[in-house]
Chains A and B, each alone.
Chain A
Amino acid sequence: AQRVTQPEKLLSVFKGAPVELKCNYSYSGSPELFWYVQYSRQRLQLLLRHISRESIKGFTADLNKGETSFHLKKPFAQEEDSAMYYCALSAGNNRKLIWGLGTSLAVNP
């Protein structure tokens, strides 16, 4: 079955601390993984896609096929990083997205 698991509903860290938001997936084919972010009162926006292998706003994510994970990391969290983060898997010919439940990140001053 195709599934995305984000085990933490809420993650709270202090400003300047490292942050890791976990994402595990289950998919029989070759997955394409994404991280989307939703800031307060804003729409969902793409943060990262694994094929780009880029760093956005200091965030990186590496696809680990052995562990079926795509964890999102940032070495030094900022208050403006506080948001809802969703991990998603692109599946099938139509590339529909299968989503995790999301992790709410709170960065405290």
Chain B
Amino acid sequence: GAGVSQSPRYKVAKRGQDVALRCDPISGHVSLFWYQQALGQGPEFLTYFQNEAQLDKSGLPSDRFFAERPEGSVSTLKIQRTQQEDSAVYLCASSPPGPQYFGPGTRLLVL
């Protein structure tokens, strides 16, 4: 069956530009997670949804980061006024609950 998909796969942004990253979870998965993975690091938790409710956003690094999942399915992670330190791979994962299944990630490069 279809796994978690993310788009775009690659994004180059100029510093100060806004970006939107999309995640399509596995159909029927209740939980959705976003992680940020900097080069040479393990993933770091950003935020968590249960259906449409954002229950934990403690990992969002600043108020420039915003995530939503309005209908409890597709989620969007938005980064406003991007900075160079935002360059990373952004991973989305969904779970039934249970083990988390990951998308391929979006590699963001901010110049």
In the complex with contacts A44-B91, A95-B31, A102-B55 CB distance below 8 A = no
- Asked if B102 and A44 make an inter-chain contact with CB atoms under 8 angstroms apart, the answer reads yes
Q: Is B33 an interface residue (CB 8 A)?
A: yes
Residue among B33, B100, B101, B104 with the most chain A CB within 10 A? Answer: B100
Total count of chain B residues near the partner, CB < 8 A:
27
Q: Is A25 an interface residue (CB 8 A)?
A: no
- Asked if A95 and B105 make an inter-chain contact with CB atoms under 8 angstroms apart, the answer reads no
14 pairs, A vs B, C-beta closer than 8 Å:
A36-B102, A43-B3, A43-B105, A44-B91, A46-B99, A94-B55, A96-B45, A96-B56, A97-B33, A97-B35, A97-B100, A99-B42, A99-B44, A101-B42
Docked pose: A88 CA to B42 CA in angstroms = 9
Q: Is A70 an interface residue (CB 8 A)?
A: no
In the bound complex, residues from chain A placing their C-beta under 8 Å from that of B104 are 43
B6 and chain A: residue at smallest CB distance: A43
In the complex with contacts A96-B45, A99-B43, A49-B99 CB distance below 8 A = yes
Docked pose: A99 CA to B104 CA in angstroms = 17
Minimum Cβ distance to chain A for residue B101 (Å):
7
Which of B3, B33, B103, B105 interacts with A96 by CB under 8 Å? B33
Q: Is A83 an interface residue (CB 8 A)?
A: no
Minimum Cβ distance to chain A for residue B70 (Å):
19
Residues of A84-100 whose CB lies within 8 A of B: 86, 88, 92, 94-100
B40 and chain A: residue at smallest CB distance: A101
Q: Is B97 an interface residue (CB 8 A)?
A: yes
Residue among A36, A96, A99 with the most chain B CB within 10 A? Answer: A96
Docked pose: A97 CA to B35 CA in angstroms = 9
Docked pose: A88 CA to B48 CA in angstroms = 16
Residues of A51-106 whose CB lies within 8 A of B: 86, 88, 92, 94-102
Docked pose: A23 CA to B48 CA in angstroms = 25
Q: Is B62 an interface residue (CB 8 A)?
A: no
In the complex with contacts A34-B99, A44-B91, A46-B99, A97-B105 CB distance below 8 A = no
A42 and chain B: residue at smallest CB distance: B104
